């Protein structure tokens, strides 16, 4: 077995051990495999031969490479994901004591990602689209968790009611990326939305069954709402608000990060708010805020 194959397999296992989603681990390993094929085409047989110009050349290669199954070139999102995978691979090499290379390339997101960012007016329209019944109160709480606190899809779905610290105005995020725990701050408005949901809407839903469920977001069957169910509620709000954009839970996270930067918050502060492990992950929002 070639050394590159062993490295890629070990890299995938490392990502899974850190708690990365299965799809992220699989695609990251796939992107790194493509990178090794590129190195082989240059006659580079070991990682010590990877220089800054090698990575620059690989970035140019991705920008000009044709798709294998469709016509046209690679999407910018694909290129960004590819480079991010190399960053993870570089971190893996460093932390396991292997020869490594620095990845300083910062590709911009594509126009589709930029177009998925909601304006402040559109965010207000989504809040206004929430009805005043118990399901509408829950919808408002979902917006407050994913937009107001900028949580990732899995982080919000994994919240238990005990993780909402109303007095301290904090959310305890137990299921962060890479199993990293953190506290996400909430504004007074977010606190009010969650308080109304917990003591009005959620208590009513909880009364539908005798068995208690600790999950924050409950379905009408008194079960923990999964990511898809939460996303469906967001889609319904965008339809009611007549927003003509492809919006998911992560778009709300993109939007709050962009709005915070536009309001004058520093990159470091936004990075801490989002729970990023490095500023490199937050750099994308500087492009989004500018555009």
Do residues 184 and 151 lie in contact, with contact meaning Cβ atoms separated by under 8 Å? yes
Helix 3-17 vs helix 76-95: angle between axes, to the nearest 10 degrees? 90
Known catalytic residues are 152, 177, 250, 253, 276, 285
Q: At what angle do helices 52-64 and 76-95 cross, to 10 degrees?
A: 150
- Count of residues in the chain: 291
- Give 80-136 as a DSSP string: HHHHHHHHHHHHHHHHTT---------PPPPHHHHHTPPPHHHHHHHHHTS-SSHHH
Under DSSP, the state recorded for 49 is G
Quick check: 224 and 160 in contact, CB under 8 A?
A: no
Nearest to 194 by CA among 225, 217, 226: 217
Q: CA nearest 288: which of 76, 85, 90, 95?
A: 76
Q: What is the DSSP string of 160-227?
A: BGGGEETTTTEEEESS-GGG--EEEE--HHHHHHHHHIIIIIHHHHHTTSSS---BSSB-TTSSBPPH
Q: CA-CA distances (angstroms) from residue 193 to 101, 136, 147?
A: 46, 11, 12
The residues near 144 (Cβ < 8 Å, ≥ 6 apart) are: 186, 189, 190, 193, 194
């Amino acid at each position: 077995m070639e050394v590159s194959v062993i490295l890629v397999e070990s890299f995938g296992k490392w990502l899974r051990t850190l708690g990365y989603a299965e799809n992220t681990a699989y695609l990251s390993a796939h992107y790194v495999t493509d990178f090794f094929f590129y190195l082989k085409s240059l006659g580079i047989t070991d990682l010590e031969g990877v220089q800054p110009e090698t990575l620059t050349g690989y970035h140019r290669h991705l920008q000009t490479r044709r798709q294998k199954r469709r016509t046209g070139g690679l999407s910018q999102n694909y290129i960004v994901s590819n480079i991010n995978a190399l960053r993870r691979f570089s971190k893996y090499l460093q932390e396991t004591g292997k020869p490594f290379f620095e990845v300083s390339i910062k590709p911009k997101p594509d126009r589709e990602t930029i177009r998925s960012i909601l304006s402040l007016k559109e965010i207000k329209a989504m809040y206004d689209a929430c009805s005043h019944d118990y399901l509408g109160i829950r919808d408002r709480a979902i917006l407050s968790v994913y937009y107001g606190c900028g949580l990732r899809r899995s982080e919000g779905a994994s919240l238990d009611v005990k993780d909402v610290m109303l007095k301290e105005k904090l959310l305890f995020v137990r299921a962060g990326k890479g199993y990293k725990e953190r506290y996400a701050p909430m504004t007074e408005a977010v606190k009010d939305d969650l308080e109304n949901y917990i003591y009005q809407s959620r208590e009513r839903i909880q009364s539908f069954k005798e068995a208690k469920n600790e999950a924050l977001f409950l379905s009408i069957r008194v079960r923990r709402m999964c990511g898809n169910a939460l996303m469906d509620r967001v889609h319904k709000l965008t339809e009611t608000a007549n927003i003509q954009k492809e919006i998911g839970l992560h778009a709300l996270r993109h939007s709050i990060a962009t709005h915070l930067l536009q309001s004058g918050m520093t990159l470091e502060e936004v990075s801490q708010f989002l729970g990023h492990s490095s500023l490199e992950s937050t750099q994308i929002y500087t492009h989004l805020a500018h555009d």
